[in-house]
Structure 1
Amino acid sequence: MIRRREFIATGLTAAGTLAVGPAFFRAAAQPATPGPGPYGPLRPADANGLMLPDGFRSRVVARGLAPVSGTSYSWHIFSDGAATYRTPDGGWILVSNSEATAATGAGASAIRFRPDGRIAGAYRILRGTNANCSGGATPWGSWLSCEETDTGRVWECDPTGSRAAVVRPAMGVFKHEAAAVDPDDKRVYLSEDVGDGGLYRFTPAVWPNLTSGLLEVAIVGPGGAVSWRPVPDPAATTVPTRRQVPGMTQFKRGEGLWWDSGIVYLATTSDQRIHALNTVTDRIDVLYDGKARAGQPLQSVDNLTVSPWGDLFVCEDQGEDSEVGLITPARVASPFMRLTAPLHSDSEFTGPVFDPSGTRFYVASQRAFGGVGAVLEVTGPFRRSPAPRPPLSVSVAVPHSVTLRGLLGRGVALGVKADRGVRVSVALRAGRTRRPGVAAAGRRQITLGRRTRSLGKAGTLRLRLRPGRRARRYLRLRRVRRLSVVISVVDSEGNKRRITEVVKIRTPRSRRRRS
């Protein structure tokens, strides 16, 4: 039994912690390429020093070392990772990290908005920590704030400020950058901001309590297949976590991390890449490569978020003239907004996130206004309809009949063809049959065997389903005339197909002649 005080359940709903947008990188394909954006070219800078597409406007909602409008709370400096949470009154809360030192307050703060967008209050939710870079929202309404130091830890915070933050050392001691919660597989993915860092995942011992659990690190094999190995000492008592597992795959400055619809998106700044990890198939692909060709619109990729309609918004980490770009489900990359001097000299975009309605986009300029930083809100004609996605296409190949001897020995061979990466579950079932002198025993079916496999990309999965020991005994004793093969297929979006095929058990010819 989980006691309430062991984890932070706020009753809030975090924007983006459920599968809201269409995951658009389910199978291997060519990385995104430059092209025209859905909102047109950028206009000259506005009064806040931002270049935006036509129809969009901005406002400053918080400025470092200055009181938040309508409150007496002085906002922190160096704003970084952020998240939003819907409140019961129809408003929302924006939380924001501070990538500063404990001596300046650091930690994280929050702004509460009324349903009409006016600011209702501001307050601190974490203090006394160092270099809180990015983090991640949880489905149960807390904020995971990550320290980007060699001895960094993850802090679980209450966005309402009602309860004190709790440190989660079981999630590892290393130079944390971001966290992304997968509510389907009940795991938390973690990035490490060093040139030879790892990609980690944490599986709580009891979901959703983050007090204890298993920390693993990724090893990427041929074709992007990912396996996971336990980190022996998550506390890094003597050896850094990234050097504890031989063969660990090194990611070049893992930064932005976001989960959506079964895909974990990871930005690696040093090699200017965005990776897409399919958590259903455990396969990772390169979604964007900033070095692939000249003129790529995104460089030094950093924090990122997925919009409710499926576009991936990506911040650059390259100082003045930094941009927020977007990548559409059609894999077209383009700029969305840009910083300009003098208001944003030597600054960068951080903490991109949409409000729960998807109509307001929040992002920080970390060194704006002379170096203290600011949080900005952008509104405008964001497109509201997800990109169309064809229905899940599946076909199966199952034999019409098998002999009992072949079934007991080799099982049933079958093939499943799909137009994208999927998880395939197959069950072999037999109905109760009539025995001599006994009335029919009903329609309940007996499961003789099960198997689950993953197909990493579009193609055909071939497998063989064999009855278990007890099932083989059942088949020998009963007069089973036919079997049902039930095939369930699901993609990373949750689209499902269920197909049932009948396989007859035929009598060998020699037996038929004797009878």
Structure 2
Amino acid sequence: MERRSFLRGAVIGTSAAAFGGTLWRGAAHAAPAQPGAGPYGALGSPDANGLRLPSGFSSRVIARSGQKVGSTAYTWHNAPDGGACYADGTGWIYVSNSEINPSGGAGAVRFSSTGAITGAYRILSSTRQNCAGGKTPWNTWLSCEEVDRGYVYETDPWGVKAAVRRDAMGRFKHEAAAADPVRRTVYLTEDTTDGCFYRFTPTTWGDLSAGRLEVLKMGSGTSGPVTWATVPDPSGASTATRNQVSGAKRFTGGEGCYYADDICWFTTKGDNRVWQYNAAAQTIELAYDDSLVNGTAPLTGVDNVTGTSSGDLFVAEDGGNMEICVITPDDVVASFLRIDGQSGSEITGPAFSPDGKRLYFSSQRGTSGSSSGGITYEVTGPFRG
């Protein structure tokens, strides 16, 4: 059974697709993905950068922690994490968080229409352990602090406007964010072993300074209808946000979050699951669960997630065997790429260029296993459009 069928069309970029919500048309069905032959074929031998890629794909390193980015004056940050791409005239920008504490923040790399690096710069400073985040429909980057009572910061990918702290989005151990332009809300994950799944509905769409924070409620199962309840005190000053609403659904380590056409996909690393929340039907179900896999599970340590207009989801591993796996619309899960010789790291920040032909991501700790050893890559090839 096909879990989702989508309108195939021109790619306007993963980040735009994630928050635009108009590329895809389809209904979700209960059918957790199973291993099978992926759309891109088997992985080849490691290339010069240590990446195993399918035939027709190639890689390059665009940045390394502690080193200047290309010929720019910007030194790439340590522990590169969540990221997104933004159209920039005929080129594009890739933003990346820094998951260190203190002095996390985020940086950006600007590319020309040919993919040449034309600039790099800081867009957020003096924050703590910025892990993942998400793109807004008005082209800002939400950078999320993964610390107790952490904040969400709204930043400018062009580095012109000052970053703004968005207190109304709640203070908790933030992970990722995904905007739903239809319901005019932003979904948020929480990276704790007893975390929750939230949504923030701003008073005025496009202005995140005020609004309502809610938490998802449902029964003890993994599928079925859900409801939402308002979090009384988003500041979590006296009681953690996840403990303020009786019956709030618990998730074991919320990670990546991605929205497209009424569906918000999010991952939980504690149980290696990919969830799908159908915002139109207000139901939830599993898209992937490694405990339900027939045979050996190709995807473990689920973390950041993104997608393409073809309906493919790309899920990065935190650990596992350092792969990015693809989950196809017909519920097949397969390896897309693997990084050799970096078992002490994790893959972070997957995001596609606006034309869908280049995938950016990082190995947070690289070959050294240290936050100062981060490596950010670009993979180019015949991605399905």
Tell me the amino acid that sits aligned with residue 99 of structure 1: E
Question: Are 2:264 and 1:246 aligned?
Answer: no
Distance 1:273 1:124, change over 3 A: same
Aligned-pair CA distance for 1:13: 11
CA RMSD of aligned residues (A): 1.5
Instruction: Determine whether 1:316 maps to 2:331.
Output: no
* Offset of residue 308 of structure 1: 2.2
CA distance in 1, matches of 2:384, 2:172: 39
Aligned to 1:413: none
The structural deviation recorded for 1:20 is: 5.6
Rounded Cα–Cα distance in structure 1 between residues aligned with 2:15 and 2:30: 31
Instruction: Give the CA deviation at 1:27.
Output: 3.6
SS in 2 for 1:291: helix
In structure 1, the residue matched to 2:157 is 159
Q: Deviations over 1:67-125 (max 9, x none)?
A: 0002111000100000010012x1101100000122xx420000111111101100000
Question: Secondary structure of the residue that 1:161 maps to in structure 2?
Answer: coil
Say which SS state the counterpart of residue 309 (structure 1) adopts.
coil
Bigger relative contact order, structure 1 or 2, given CA contacts below 8 A and separation 6+? 2
Counterpart of 2:356 in structure 1 is: 358
1:19: which partner in 2? 21
- Identity across matched positions, percent: 49
C-alpha deviations, 1:427-466, integer Å up to 9, x for none?
Answer: xxxxxxxxxxxxxxxxxxxxxxxxxxxxxxxxxxxxxxxx
Query: Aligned residue for 1:184?
Result: 182
Quote the residue 1:288 is aligned against.
288
- Alignment deviations for residues 223-278 of structure 1 (CA, whole Å, 9 cap, x no partner): 51010000011000111001110110001111010001110001011111111001
What is the distance in 2 between the residues matched to 1:337 and 1:35?
A: 15
Aligned with 2:159: secondary structure?
A: coil
Query: In the alignment, residue 307 of structure 2 is paired with which amino acid?
Result: V
Partner SS for 1:170? helix
* Residue aligned with 2:168, SS: helix
**In 1, distance between residues paired with 2:231 and 2:340?**
43
CA distance, structure 1, for counterparts of residue 240 and residue 258 of structure 2 = 24
- Which residue is equivalent to 1:49? 50
The alpha carbon displacement at 1:51 in A equals 0.7
| Residues 1:275 and 1:13: Cα distance change in structure 2 (over 3 Å) | closer
Matched residue SS, 1:189: strand
- CA-CA distance at 1:369 after TM superposition: 3.9
Aligned equivalents of 2:213, 2:343: Cα separation in 1:
40
Q: What CA distance in whole angstroms lies between the structure 2 residues aligned with 1:188 and 1:273?
A: 21
What aligned pairs does 1:369-380 form with structure 2 within 5 A after superposition? 369-370=367-368, 371=370, 372-380=373-381
Q: What is residue 491 of structure 1 aligned with on the other side?
A: none
Which deviations, in whole Å up to 9, do the C-alpha atoms of 1:99-154 show, x marking residues without a partner? 0122xx42000011111110110000000001100000001010000000002110
The residue type paired with residue 52 of structure 2 is M
One of 186, 206, 209 as aligned partner of 1:208: 206
How far apart are residue 28 of structure 1 and its match? Answer: 3.1
In the alignment, what sits opposite 1:305?
Answer: 306
Deviation sequence 1:379-416 (CA, Å, 0-9, x none): 012122xxxxxxxxxxxxxxxxxxxxxxxxxxxxxxxx
Match of 1:274 in 2: 274
> 1 CA distance for matches of 2:29 and 2:81?
32
Q: CA deviation at 1:296?
A: 1.4
| Letter of the 2:299 counterpart | L
How far 1:163 moved relative to its partner? 1.0
Deviation at 1:322, TM superposition (A): 1.2
Separation of aligned partners in 1, 2:199 and 2:383? 33
Q: Structure 2: 5+ residue runs without aligned partners? A: 1-12
Q: Kindly provide the amino acid, as one letter, of the partner of residue 101 in structure 2.
A: T
Residues 72/27 of structure 1: CA separation in 2 closer, same or farther (3 Å cut):
closer
Equivalent pairs, count = 366
**How many Å apart are 1:336 and its aligned residue?**
0.3
1:133 to 131, 134, 150: 131
Cα displacement (A) at 1:19: 2.7
Instruction: Please report the TM-score for the alignment, with normalisation by the length of structure 2.
Output: 0.92
Give unmatched runs, 5+ long, in structure 1.
1-11, 385-515
SS in 2 for 1:368: coil
Residues 14 and 34 of structure 1, relative CA distance in 2, 3 Å threshold: closer
The corresponding residue for 2:237 is 237
The residue type paired with residue 308 of structure 2 is S
Computing the radius of gyration from Cα coordinates, the structure with the larger value is 1
Does the aligned pair in 2 maintain the 1:23–1:310 contact within 8 Å?
A: no
Measured in 1, the distance between the counterparts of 2:178 and 2:281 equals: 18
- 1:262-321 CA-to-partner distances (Å, cap 9, x unmatched) read 1000101111111100111111110101111331110121100011221000011116x3
Within 2, Cα distance between the matches of 1:356 and 1:15? 8
Aligned to 1:86: 87
Deviation at 1:220, TM superposition (A): 1.6
Question: Which one of the candidate residues 124, 143, 148 is aligned to 2:141?
Answer: 143
Q: 2:28 & 2:109 partners in 1: Cα distance?
A: 39
